[in-house]
Structure 1
Amino acid sequence: MPKQQYELVNTEAHKHLKINTQQVNVVENKVNACVVVAGELSTLVHEYPIFISKSQQTQQYQLTAILGLHSGENLYLDGEKWRAKFLPLDILRKPFHAFIPDPSKPTKGSIAIELNSAMVNENDGQSLFEDDGNATDYYKRIETTFAQLMGGSKHSADLLQLAADLELLEQVSLDIDLPNDQKTSLTGLYVFDQEKLTALTGEKLEKCHQSGLLQVSHLVLSSSVHLQKLINWFNEK
Protein backbone atom coordinates (compact mmCIF):
# COMPACT_ATOMS: atom_id res chain seq x y z
CA MET A 1 0.00 0.00 0.00
CA PRO A 2 1.61 3.29 -1.09
CA LYS A 3 2.25 5.94 1.53
CA GLN A 4 -0.36 8.69 1.56
CA GLN A 5 0.82 11.94 0.00
CA TYR A 6 -1.36 15.01 0.41
CA GLU A 7 -0.96 18.31 -1.43
CA LEU A 8 -3.15 21.40 -1.38
CA VAL A 9 -4.89 21.61 -4.74
CA ASN A 10 -3.45 24.30 -7.01
CA THR A 11 -3.81 25.04 -10.69
CA GLU A 12 -0.16 24.82 -11.73
CA ALA A 13 0.83 21.62 -9.94
CA HIS A 14 -2.33 19.66 -10.71
CA LYS A 15 -3.47 20.90 -14.11
CA HIS A 16 -2.73 17.54 -15.76
CA LEU A 17 -4.38 15.35 -13.12
CA LYS A 18 -7.55 13.36 -13.71
CA ILE A 19 -9.80 11.55 -11.25
CA ASN A 20 -11.29 8.20 -12.22
CA THR A 21 -14.64 8.57 -10.47
CA GLN A 22 -15.75 5.14 -11.73
CA GLN A 23 -13.07 3.44 -9.64
CA VAL A 24 -14.79 3.03 -6.29
CA ASN A 25 -13.06 -0.15 -5.08
CA VAL A 26 -10.06 1.70 -3.68
CA VAL A 27 -8.24 1.60 -0.35
CA GLU A 28 -9.80 4.80 0.95
CA ASN A 29 -13.33 3.37 0.50
CA LYS A 30 -12.58 0.20 2.46
CA VAL A 31 -14.14 1.53 5.64
CA ASN A 32 -17.12 0.25 7.60
CA ALA A 33 -18.59 3.70 8.34
CA CYS A 34 -18.65 7.25 7.01
CA VAL A 35 -19.86 10.61 8.25
CA VAL A 36 -23.27 11.82 7.07
CA VAL A 37 -24.83 15.28 7.39
CA ALA A 38 -28.49 16.05 8.06
CA GLY A 39 -29.04 17.60 4.64
CA GLU A 40 -28.47 14.28 2.82
CA LEU A 41 -30.54 12.09 5.14
CA SER A 42 -33.71 12.24 3.03
CA THR A 43 -31.97 10.29 0.25
CA LEU A 44 -29.50 8.15 2.22
CA VAL A 45 -32.04 6.64 4.64
CA HIS A 46 -33.53 4.70 1.71
CA GLU A 47 -30.29 2.72 1.31
CA TYR A 48 -28.08 2.97 4.41
CA PRO A 49 -28.46 2.26 8.14
CA ILE A 50 -27.75 5.58 9.88
CA PHE A 51 -26.72 5.83 13.52
CA ILE A 52 -25.09 8.45 15.74
CA SER A 53 -21.50 8.38 16.97
CA LYS A 54 -18.98 10.79 18.47
CA SER A 55 -16.15 12.33 16.49
CA GLN A 56 -12.78 11.10 17.77
CA GLN A 57 -11.29 14.53 17.04
CA THR A 58 -13.93 16.85 18.52
CA GLN A 59 -16.04 14.49 20.67
CA GLN A 60 -19.11 16.10 19.08
CA TYR A 61 -22.05 13.94 18.04
CA GLN A 62 -22.22 13.10 14.33
CA LEU A 63 -24.43 11.12 11.99
CA THR A 64 -22.80 7.94 10.73
CA ALA A 65 -23.71 5.57 7.90
CA ILE A 66 -22.77 1.96 8.62
CA LEU A 67 -21.13 0.36 5.57
CA GLY A 68 -19.88 -2.91 7.02
CA LEU A 69 -19.97 -5.12 10.10
CA HIS A 70 -16.22 -5.21 10.76
CA SER A 71 -13.45 -2.61 10.71
CA GLY A 72 -12.20 -2.03 7.16
CA GLU A 73 -15.16 -3.86 5.62
CA ASN A 74 -17.38 -2.04 3.11
CA LEU A 75 -20.23 -4.31 2.03
CA TYR A 76 -21.48 -1.68 -0.44
CA LEU A 77 -18.46 -2.50 -2.60
CA ASP A 78 -19.25 -5.29 -5.06
CA GLY A 79 -16.24 -5.57 -7.33
CA GLU A 80 -16.09 -2.24 -9.14
CA LYS A 81 -19.72 -1.43 -8.36
CA TRP A 82 -21.27 0.45 -5.46
CA ARG A 83 -24.46 -1.25 -4.28
CA ALA A 84 -26.54 1.89 -3.82
CA LYS A 85 -27.92 4.59 -6.10
CA PHE A 86 -26.83 7.45 -3.84
CA LEU A 87 -23.35 7.87 -2.37
CA PRO A 88 -22.73 9.81 0.86
CA LEU A 89 -20.91 13.13 0.41
CA ASP A 90 -18.07 11.74 2.54
CA ILE A 91 -17.50 9.09 -0.14
CA LEU A 92 -18.10 11.37 -3.13
CA ARG A 93 -15.42 13.83 -1.99
CA LYS A 94 -12.61 11.26 -2.23
CA PRO A 95 -9.69 11.38 -3.08
CA PHE A 96 -9.89 14.94 -1.73
CA HIS A 97 -9.63 15.89 1.94
CA ALA A 98 -10.36 18.99 3.97
CA PHE A 99 -7.27 20.77 5.29
CA ILE A 100 -8.39 22.83 8.29
CA PRO A 101 -5.53 24.58 10.15
CA ASP A 102 -7.82 25.86 12.92
CA PRO A 103 -10.40 23.28 14.11
CA SER A 104 -12.42 26.09 15.73
CA LYS A 105 -13.00 27.53 12.25
CA PRO A 106 -14.06 24.49 10.18
CA THR A 107 -15.32 26.64 7.28
CA LYS A 108 -11.90 28.32 6.91
CA GLY A 109 -9.97 25.60 5.16
CA SER A 110 -8.53 24.37 1.89
CA ILE A 111 -8.88 21.23 -0.21
CA ALA A 112 -6.04 18.74 -0.42
CA ILE A 113 -5.66 15.80 -2.79
CA GLU A 114 -4.26 12.37 -1.98
CA LEU A 115 -1.83 11.94 -4.88
CA ASN A 116 -1.19 8.24 -4.30
CA SER A 117 -4.86 7.30 -4.53
CA ALA A 118 -5.63 4.76 -7.24
CA MET A 119 -8.27 7.19 -8.48
CA VAL A 120 -5.62 9.79 -9.43
CA ASN A 121 -3.86 9.61 -12.79
CA GLU A 122 -3.09 11.70 -15.89
CA ASN A 123 -5.00 9.72 -18.51
CA ASP A 124 -8.54 8.68 -17.54
CA GLY A 125 -11.34 10.49 -15.78
CA GLN A 126 -12.37 13.98 -14.76
CA SER A 127 -9.94 16.90 -15.07
CA LEU A 128 -9.61 19.42 -12.25
CA PHE A 129 -8.81 22.44 -14.41
CA GLU A 130 -9.50 23.71 -17.91
CA ASP A 131 -6.64 24.72 -20.21
CA ASP A 132 -7.12 28.35 -19.15
CA GLY A 133 -6.66 27.41 -15.48
CA ASN A 134 -10.29 27.75 -14.44
CA ALA A 135 -11.86 24.98 -12.37
CA THR A 136 -13.83 22.36 -14.32
CA ASP A 137 -17.46 21.63 -13.51
CA TYR A 138 -16.27 18.46 -11.79
CA TYR A 139 -13.92 20.31 -9.44
CA LYS A 140 -16.59 22.93 -8.75
CA ARG A 141 -18.83 20.05 -7.60
CA ILE A 142 -16.04 18.89 -5.29
CA GLU A 143 -15.83 22.40 -3.81
CA THR A 144 -19.61 22.40 -3.33
CA THR A 145 -19.41 18.96 -1.69
CA PHE A 146 -16.91 20.23 0.88
CA ALA A 147 -19.02 23.32 1.54
CA GLN A 148 -22.01 21.04 2.22
CA LEU A 149 -19.93 18.76 4.45
CA MET A 150 -18.39 21.59 6.46
CA GLY A 151 -21.63 23.51 6.99
CA GLY A 152 -23.67 20.34 7.36
CA SER A 153 -21.34 18.86 9.98
CA LYS A 154 -21.81 21.84 12.29
CA HIS A 155 -25.57 21.90 11.75
CA SER A 156 -25.82 18.15 12.41
CA ALA A 157 -23.65 18.41 15.54
CA ASP A 158 -25.82 21.24 16.89
CA LEU A 159 -29.01 19.24 16.29
CA LEU A 160 -27.61 16.13 17.93
CA GLN A 161 -26.34 18.13 20.91
CA LEU A 162 -29.88 19.48 21.32
CA ALA A 163 -31.11 15.88 21.31
CA ALA A 164 -28.53 14.98 23.96
CA ASP A 165 -29.50 17.99 26.09
CA LEU A 166 -33.13 16.87 25.92
CA GLU A 167 -32.02 13.32 26.88
CA LEU A 168 -33.34 11.89 23.61
CA LEU A 169 -30.21 9.83 22.83
CA GLU A 170 -29.25 6.44 24.23
CA GLN A 171 -26.02 4.54 23.71
CA VAL A 172 -26.31 1.08 22.18
CA SER A 173 -24.14 -1.89 21.32
CA LEU A 174 -25.40 -3.80 18.30
CA ASP A 175 -24.73 -7.51 18.83
CA ILE A 176 -25.11 -9.33 15.52
CA ASP A 177 -25.29 -13.10 14.95
CA LEU A 178 -23.45 -14.29 11.82
CA PRO A 179 -23.13 -17.70 10.11
CA ASN A 180 -21.15 -20.57 11.67
CA ASP A 181 -21.87 -19.32 15.20
CA GLN A 182 -19.90 -16.14 14.58
CA LYS A 183 -20.84 -12.94 16.35
CA THR A 184 -19.83 -9.31 15.95
CA SER A 185 -20.65 -6.10 17.77
CA LEU A 186 -20.90 -2.51 16.59
CA THR A 187 -20.06 -0.28 19.55
CA GLY A 188 -19.83 3.43 20.30
CA LEU A 189 -23.18 4.11 18.66
CA TYR A 190 -26.19 6.09 19.80
CA VAL A 191 -29.83 6.00 18.73
CA PHE A 192 -32.86 8.18 19.30
CA ASP A 193 -35.03 6.99 22.18
CA GLN A 194 -38.39 6.32 20.52
CA GLU A 195 -40.38 6.43 23.76
CA LYS A 196 -38.94 9.78 24.86
CA LEU A 197 -39.52 11.24 21.40
CA THR A 198 -43.15 10.14 21.50
CA ALA A 199 -43.56 11.61 24.98
CA LEU A 200 -42.34 15.11 23.97
CA THR A 201 -44.88 17.86 24.65
CA GLY A 202 -45.15 21.63 24.83
CA GLU A 203 -42.04 23.78 24.48
CA LYS A 204 -39.67 20.81 24.02
CA LEU A 205 -41.78 19.37 21.22
CA GLU A 206 -42.01 22.77 19.53
CA LYS A 207 -38.24 23.23 19.79
CA CYS A 208 -37.59 19.85 18.20
CA HIS A 209 -40.06 20.61 15.43
CA GLN A 210 -38.78 24.11 14.67
CA SER A 211 -35.11 23.06 14.67
CA GLY A 212 -35.69 20.13 12.33
CA LEU A 213 -34.60 17.62 14.97
CA LEU A 214 -37.94 15.83 14.89
CA GLN A 215 -37.64 15.13 11.16
CA VAL A 216 -34.00 14.02 11.53
CA SER A 217 -34.92 11.62 14.34
CA HIS A 218 -37.71 10.00 12.31
CA LEU A 219 -35.45 9.63 9.26
CA VAL A 220 -32.64 8.06 11.29
CA LEU A 221 -34.98 5.67 13.08
CA SER A 222 -36.49 4.53 9.77
CA SER A 223 -33.07 3.67 8.35
CA SER A 224 -32.24 0.92 10.83
CA VAL A 225 -34.06 -1.65 8.66
CA HIS A 226 -31.04 -1.61 6.30
CA LEU A 227 -28.86 -3.28 8.93
CA GLN A 228 -30.46 -6.59 7.96
CA LYS A 229 -29.38 -5.95 4.35
CA LEU A 230 -25.75 -5.71 5.49
CA ILE A 231 -26.11 -8.98 7.39
CA ASN A 232 -27.56 -10.65 4.28
CA TRP A 233 -24.71 -9.33 2.13
CA PHE A 234 -22.16 -10.61 4.63
CA ASN A 235 -23.84 -14.02 4.64
CA GLU A 236 -23.67 -14.17 0.83
CA LYS A 237 -19.89 -13.70 0.80
Structure 2
Amino acid sequence: MPNPVLLNNLEHRDLRVITRRGADLGDQVMSAVTFPSEFRDVQACYPIVFRKTVDGLGFEPIALFGFQEGENLFLQGQRWDAPYVPMMIERQPFLIGVSGEELMVNVDLDHPRVSRTEGQEVFKPHGGTTEFLEQANSLLFTIHQGMQSLQGFLSALLEHELLESFVLDVELNDGSQNRLVGFYTINEDRLQGLSGEAIVKLHQANYLQAIYLVLASLSNFRALIDRKNATLHV
Protein backbone atom coordinates (compact mmCIF):
# COMPACT_ATOMS: atom_id res chain seq x y z
CA MET A 1 0.00 0.00 0.00
CA PRO A 2 1.26 3.50 -0.79
CA ASN A 3 2.46 5.55 2.17
CA PRO A 4 2.23 9.19 0.93
CA VAL A 5 3.51 11.95 3.20
CA LEU A 6 4.12 15.65 2.62
CA LEU A 7 7.66 16.15 1.34
CA ASN A 8 9.80 18.46 3.46
CA ASN A 9 13.52 19.24 3.67
CA LEU A 10 13.85 18.39 7.37
CA GLU A 11 12.50 14.85 7.62
CA HIS A 12 13.57 14.01 4.09
CA ARG A 13 16.86 15.88 3.83
CA ASP A 14 18.76 12.70 2.90
CA LEU A 15 16.05 11.27 0.63
CA ARG A 16 17.15 9.91 -2.73
CA VAL A 17 15.24 8.52 -5.69
CA ILE A 18 16.42 5.60 -7.81
CA THR A 19 15.81 6.50 -11.45
CA ARG A 20 16.85 3.37 -13.31
CA ARG A 21 14.14 1.10 -14.64
CA GLY A 22 13.32 -2.34 -13.30
CA ALA A 23 10.60 -4.77 -12.28
CA ASP A 24 11.80 -4.43 -8.68
CA LEU A 25 11.18 -0.67 -8.90
CA GLY A 26 7.49 -0.86 -9.77
CA ASP A 27 7.78 -0.81 -13.57
CA GLN A 28 6.30 -4.26 -14.17
CA VAL A 29 2.81 -2.90 -14.82
CA MET A 30 0.32 -3.48 -17.62
CA SER A 31 -0.80 0.13 -18.04
CA ALA A 32 -0.71 3.73 -16.84
CA VAL A 33 -3.41 6.38 -16.72
CA THR A 34 -2.96 9.12 -19.28
CA PHE A 35 -4.85 12.29 -20.32
CA PRO A 36 -5.60 14.20 -23.56
CA SER A 37 -2.68 16.67 -23.43
CA GLU A 38 -0.33 13.67 -23.30
CA PHE A 39 -2.04 11.66 -26.06
CA ARG A 40 0.23 12.91 -28.86
CA ASP A 41 3.35 11.51 -27.17
CA VAL A 42 1.64 8.36 -25.87
CA GLN A 43 0.06 7.37 -29.18
CA ALA A 44 3.46 7.30 -30.83
CA CYS A 45 4.33 4.23 -28.74
CA TYR A 46 1.33 2.63 -27.04
CA PRO A 47 -2.33 1.78 -27.64
CA ILE A 48 -4.64 4.16 -25.75
CA VAL A 49 -7.83 2.52 -24.49
CA PHE A 50 -10.36 3.26 -21.77
CA ARG A 51 -11.31 1.27 -18.70
CA LYS A 52 -13.86 1.74 -15.97
CA THR A 53 -12.57 3.46 -12.83
CA VAL A 54 -12.18 1.47 -9.64
CA ASP A 55 -15.52 2.74 -8.33
CA GLY A 56 -17.19 1.60 -11.55
CA LEU A 57 -18.85 4.99 -12.02
CA GLY A 58 -16.64 6.51 -14.68
CA PHE A 59 -13.91 5.88 -17.22
CA GLU A 60 -10.22 6.70 -17.56
CA PRO A 61 -7.85 6.53 -20.54
CA ILE A 62 -4.77 4.34 -20.17
CA ALA A 63 -1.62 3.54 -22.12
CA LEU A 64 -1.27 -0.23 -22.54
CA PHE A 65 2.10 -1.90 -22.02
CA GLY A 66 0.98 -5.53 -22.03
CA PHE A 67 -1.94 -7.93 -22.27
CA GLN A 68 -2.26 -9.07 -18.67
CA GLU A 69 -1.74 -7.73 -15.18
CA GLY A 70 1.92 -7.44 -14.26
CA GLU A 71 3.12 -7.58 -17.87
CA ASN A 72 5.15 -4.70 -19.31
CA LEU A 73 6.46 -5.66 -22.73
CA PHE A 74 8.49 -2.44 -22.91
CA LEU A 75 10.56 -3.25 -19.85
CA GLN A 76 13.87 -4.80 -20.88
CA GLY A 77 15.83 -5.41 -17.69
CA GLN A 78 16.86 -1.95 -16.49
CA ARG A 79 15.75 -0.25 -19.72
CA TRP A 80 12.38 1.04 -20.91
CA ASP A 81 12.33 0.17 -24.60
CA ALA A 82 10.37 3.15 -25.95
CA PRO A 83 11.28 6.78 -26.67
CA TYR A 84 8.53 8.07 -24.36
CA VAL A 85 7.62 7.01 -20.82
CA PRO A 86 4.13 8.15 -19.71
CA MET A 87 4.10 10.84 -17.03
CA MET A 88 2.25 8.74 -14.47
CA ILE A 89 5.18 6.30 -14.57
CA GLU A 90 7.82 9.02 -14.76
CA ARG A 91 6.50 10.85 -11.65
CA GLN A 92 7.07 7.95 -9.23
CA PRO A 93 7.53 8.03 -6.23
CA PHE A 94 6.04 11.54 -6.08
CA LEU A 95 2.32 12.33 -5.88
CA ILE A 96 0.21 15.46 -5.91
CA GLY A 97 -1.26 16.57 -2.62
CA VAL A 98 -3.94 19.24 -2.32
CA SER A 99 -4.41 21.49 0.71
CA GLY A 100 -7.30 23.87 0.05
CA GLU A 101 -6.36 25.35 -3.31
CA GLU A 102 -2.63 24.82 -2.82
CA LEU A 103 -0.82 21.98 -4.54
CA MET A 104 1.72 20.09 -2.45
CA VAL A 105 4.35 17.49 -3.29
CA ASN A 106 3.89 14.18 -1.52
CA VAL A 107 6.28 11.24 -1.60
CA ASP A 108 5.38 7.58 -1.18
CA LEU A 109 7.91 6.48 1.43
CA ASP A 110 7.12 2.81 0.77
CA HIS A 111 7.81 3.05 -2.96
CA PRO A 112 10.80 0.93 -4.05
CA ARG A 113 12.38 3.96 -5.73
CA VAL A 114 12.81 5.71 -2.38
CA SER A 115 16.27 5.27 -0.91
CA ARG A 116 18.63 6.84 1.60
CA THR A 117 21.76 5.45 0.00
CA GLU A 118 21.48 5.58 -3.81
CA GLY A 119 19.86 7.58 -6.56
CA GLN A 120 19.18 11.25 -7.23
CA GLU A 121 19.26 13.65 -4.30
CA VAL A 122 15.94 15.41 -3.64
CA PHE A 123 17.33 18.22 -1.45
CA LYS A 124 20.68 19.98 -1.41
CA PRO A 125 22.85 19.56 1.73
CA HIS A 126 21.65 22.89 3.14
CA GLY A 127 17.98 22.27 2.40
CA GLY A 128 17.43 23.81 -1.03
CA THR A 129 15.64 21.89 -3.76
CA THR A 130 17.72 20.09 -6.36
CA GLU A 131 17.19 20.35 -10.10
CA PHE A 132 15.82 16.80 -9.92
CA LEU A 133 13.05 17.89 -7.53
CA GLU A 134 12.30 20.98 -9.62
CA GLN A 135 11.76 18.72 -12.63
CA ALA A 136 9.50 16.49 -10.55
CA ASN A 137 7.51 19.54 -9.44
CA SER A 138 7.03 20.59 -13.05
CA LEU A 139 5.98 17.08 -14.04
CA LEU A 140 3.41 16.89 -11.23
CA PHE A 141 1.97 20.27 -12.19
CA THR A 142 1.61 19.14 -15.81
CA ILE A 143 -0.15 15.97 -14.64
CA HIS A 144 -2.46 17.98 -12.41
CA GLN A 145 -3.43 20.27 -15.29
CA GLY A 146 -3.95 17.26 -17.56
CA MET A 147 -6.18 15.48 -15.06
CA GLN A 148 -8.21 18.67 -14.53
CA SER A 149 -9.09 18.71 -18.21
CA LEU A 150 -9.84 14.99 -18.36
CA GLN A 151 -13.34 15.08 -16.89
CA GLY A 152 -14.63 17.44 -19.57
CA PHE A 153 -13.23 15.18 -22.29
CA LEU A 154 -14.80 12.05 -20.80
CA SER A 155 -18.13 13.83 -20.32
CA ALA A 156 -18.12 14.77 -24.00
CA LEU A 157 -17.43 11.16 -25.03
CA LEU A 158 -20.29 9.91 -22.87
CA GLU A 159 -22.65 12.68 -24.00
CA HIS A 160 -22.20 11.59 -27.62
CA GLU A 161 -22.09 7.88 -26.72
CA LEU A 162 -18.67 7.53 -28.32
CA LEU A 163 -17.29 4.83 -26.02
CA GLU A 164 -17.84 1.17 -26.85
CA SER A 165 -16.44 -2.00 -25.35
CA PHE A 166 -14.24 -4.15 -27.56
CA VAL A 167 -12.67 -7.59 -27.55
CA LEU A 168 -9.25 -8.27 -29.08
CA ASP A 169 -8.59 -11.88 -30.03
CA VAL A 170 -4.94 -12.67 -30.67
CA GLU A 171 -3.33 -15.89 -31.87
CA LEU A 172 0.33 -15.87 -30.90
CA ASN A 173 3.17 -17.61 -32.72
CA ASP A 174 3.02 -20.56 -30.31
CA GLY A 175 -0.58 -21.20 -31.40
CA SER A 176 -2.12 -20.00 -28.14
CA GLN A 177 -5.38 -18.07 -28.31
CA ASN A 178 -5.51 -14.93 -26.20
CA ARG A 179 -8.36 -12.49 -25.57
CA LEU A 180 -8.14 -8.93 -24.26
CA VAL A 181 -11.42 -7.88 -22.65
CA GLY A 182 -12.74 -5.25 -20.27
CA PHE A 183 -11.62 -2.20 -22.23
CA TYR A 184 -13.35 0.47 -24.31
CA THR A 185 -12.47 2.50 -27.38
CA ILE A 186 -14.00 5.14 -29.66
CA ASN A 187 -17.00 4.02 -31.72
CA GLU A 188 -15.93 5.18 -35.18
CA ASP A 189 -19.35 4.70 -36.77
CA ARG A 190 -20.99 6.89 -34.15
CA LEU A 191 -18.20 9.46 -34.53
CA GLN A 192 -18.76 9.61 -38.29
CA GLY A 193 -22.49 10.00 -37.71
CA LEU A 194 -22.22 13.05 -35.45
CA SER A 195 -23.83 16.25 -36.64
CA GLY A 196 -21.71 19.10 -37.93
CA GLU A 197 -22.66 21.10 -34.86
CA ALA A 198 -21.43 18.34 -32.53
CA ILE A 199 -18.16 18.04 -34.44
CA VAL A 200 -17.59 21.80 -34.21
CA LYS A 201 -18.21 21.73 -30.45
CA LEU A 202 -15.74 18.88 -30.00
CA HIS A 203 -13.19 20.71 -32.12
CA GLN A 204 -13.61 24.00 -30.25
CA ALA A 205 -13.08 22.19 -26.94
CA ASN A 206 -9.86 20.60 -28.35
CA TYR A 207 -11.44 17.15 -27.91
CA LEU A 208 -11.63 16.16 -31.57
CA GLN A 209 -7.87 15.93 -31.99
CA ALA A 210 -7.63 13.83 -28.81
CA ILE A 211 -10.27 11.45 -30.19
CA TYR A 212 -8.35 10.96 -33.42
CA LEU A 213 -5.10 10.42 -31.51
CA VAL A 214 -6.80 7.62 -29.57
CA LEU A 215 -7.93 6.02 -32.83
CA ALA A 216 -4.46 6.40 -34.35
CA SER A 217 -2.90 4.75 -31.30
CA LEU A 218 -4.77 1.49 -31.93
CA SER A 219 -2.31 0.65 -34.72
CA ASN A 220 0.22 0.06 -31.91
CA PHE A 221 -1.57 -3.19 -31.02
CA ARG A 222 0.32 -4.82 -33.90
CA ALA A 223 3.67 -3.80 -32.41
CA LEU A 224 2.50 -4.89 -28.95
CA ILE A 225 1.62 -8.33 -30.33
CA ASP A 226 5.07 -8.50 -31.96
CA ARG A 227 6.65 -7.74 -28.59
CA LYS A 228 4.59 -10.50 -27.00
CA ASN A 229 5.61 -12.98 -29.68
CA ALA A 230 9.27 -12.06 -29.12
CA THR A 231 8.97 -13.29 -25.52
CA LEU A 232 7.80 -16.76 -26.58
CA HIS A 233 9.98 -19.79 -27.08
CA VAL A 234 8.59 -21.58 -30.12
Aligned residue for 2:189? 195
Quickly say closer, same or farther: Cα 1:216–1:202, change in 2 above 3 A: same
**Residues 67-107 of structure 1: CA distance to partner in whole angstroms, max 9, x if unpaired?**
11111111110011101111100000112234468xxx8x7
Q: Does 1:76 align with 2:74?
A: yes
RMSD between aligned alpha carbons?
2.2
Aligned residue for 1:63? 61
Give the Å deviation of 1:188.
2.4
Aligned residue for 1:34? 32
Gap regions ≥5 residues in structure 2: none
Instruction: Tell which deviates more after alignment, 27-36 or 116-125.
Output: 116-125
1:44 pairs with 42, 45, 54, which one? 42
1:207 pairs with 201, 207, 230, which one? 201
Quickly say closer, same or farther: Cα 1:121–1:176, change in 2 above 3 A: same
Aligned residue for 1:173? 167
Instruction: Tell which deviates more after alignment, 194-203 or 155-164.
Output: 194-203
Aligned residue for 1:92? 90
Give the Å deviation of 1:217.
0.8
Aligned residue for 2:120? 126
1:221 pairs with 211, 215, 220, which one? 215
Aligned residue for 2:11? 13
* Distance in 2, Cα, partners of 1:135 & 1:59: 39
Give the Å deviation of 1:210.
0.4
Aligned residue for 1:149? 143
Instruction: Tell which deviates more after alignment, 223-232 or 23-32.
Output: 23-32
Structure 1 letter corresponding to 2:87? L
Q: Does 1:114 align with 2:72?
A: no
| SS of equivalent to 1:14 | coil
Give the Å deviation of 1:174.
2.2
* Distance in 1, Cα, partners of 2:55 & 2:78: 31
Give the Å deviation of 1:158.
1.4
Quickly say closer, same or farther: Cα 1:62–1:140, change in 2 above 3 A: same
Identity across matched positions, percent: 27
Output the TM-score relative to the length of structure 1: 0.87
Structure 2 letter corresponding to 1:42? R
Give the Å deviation of 1:54.
2.3
